[in-house]
Amino acid sequence: MPTFLFYGQFLENMMNLIMCPVCREKLSLVEKTWQCENRHSYDVAKQGYVNLHVVQHKHSKTPGDTVESVQARRAFLSAGFYAPLQQAVVEKLRQLRIENLLDIGCGEGYYTAAMQSEVLQCVGVDIAKNAVQVAAKLNPEVTWVVGTGATLPVLDQSIDLCSSLFSPIPQQEILRVLKDKAYLLVVTPAPEHLFALREALFEEVKPHEPNKFVQQLASDFDLLESQVVSAELQLPQQQLKNLVAMTPYAYKAKVERRSALEALAEFRVTAQFQLYLFQKK
């Protein structure tokens, strides 16, 4: 096949992934606007993302993470504290040798931007517009989308791998968009994740229970691999504050406990991540 024909077919296949949230027909990119055959159109923002979270699907004016949480996460992750997890996820994709992926709950894009290097097309979706605005500056090769897990913004059976890193798992939507025998990569806190931090913030602390996701998904997915990744963190005061601010602990902990913890000059804690690789039955 001539090179220019192959490239044209490749571009068409890329554009075929994205779905109109109103009529569920495919969207095609014409200059800087995504359009469907029913003339619904969505402009690409100057930052490089498209907003497919239509008003009728919204339950609040500003859903998702707060601006403060996104800024804290960007500062913390860009310092490399969770680099072992990012590297493990990228290596898993390298082994699978897939063509495309959909990252559900991409947030500010730290993992998504890295995963893009291992696939032909990468779509990152998050309900928080402010997070996607930040993410879009990281890697222009990713198709960044503001959208919701309740209606994932891609066509039926179009995706080789869905990833959900510390994000919800909309099981029925994932089943809809995955191809036959395609993959689901889940990352969730392992039992001892940030245990010392949680002990400092809460009176009662229990180990995380990542196995609940295996049970939840068992009817539709086979578990192929299970891996725990750990990182020993020595945090200066400002990065300790960032870590707290980017987690749900920021609003769940009592003010006096959070203040006492954040007054420390430095803090040592272990991050522990559970990776699961599933395959659609």
Terminal Cα-to-Cα distance of the chain (whole angstroms): 34
The Cα–Cα gap between 34 and 45 comes to 11
Q: Are 52 and 17 in contact (CB under 8 A)?
A: no
β-strand pairing of 49-51 with 266-280: unpaired
The reply to whether 108 sits in an annotated binding site is: yes
Looking at the DSSP assignment, which residues form a beta bridge with residue 208?
A: none
Q: Are 105 and 167 in contact (CB under 8 A)?
A: yes
Residue 140's closest CA among 259, 34, 48? 48
The Cα–Cα gap between 269 and 18 comes to 40
Contacts of 203 (CB under 8 A, 6+ apart): none
Sequence letter at residue 167:
S
> Would you state the structure tokens that stand for residue 188, as one six-digit string?
């969730």
The reply to whether 122 sits in an annotated binding site is: no
The reply to whether 82 sits in an annotated binding site is: yes
Looking at the DSSP assignment, which residues form a beta bridge with residue 50?
A: 44, 145
The Cα–Cα gap between 35 and 43 comes to 9
Q: Are 193 and 248 in contact (CB under 8 A)?
A: no
The reply to whether 109 sits in an annotated binding site is: yes
The reply to whether 106 sits in an annotated binding site is: no
> Would you state the structure tokens that stand for residue 277, as one six-digit string?
């690789």
β-strand pairing of 178-189 with 159-165: parallel
The reply to whether 193 sits in an annotated binding site is: yes
β-strand pairing of 121-126 with 100-104: parallel
**Binding-site residues for Zn(2+):** 20, 23, 36, 40
**Binding-site residues:** 20, 23, 36, 40, 82, 108-109, 193
**Binding-site residues for S-adenosyl-L-methionine:** 82, 108-109, 193
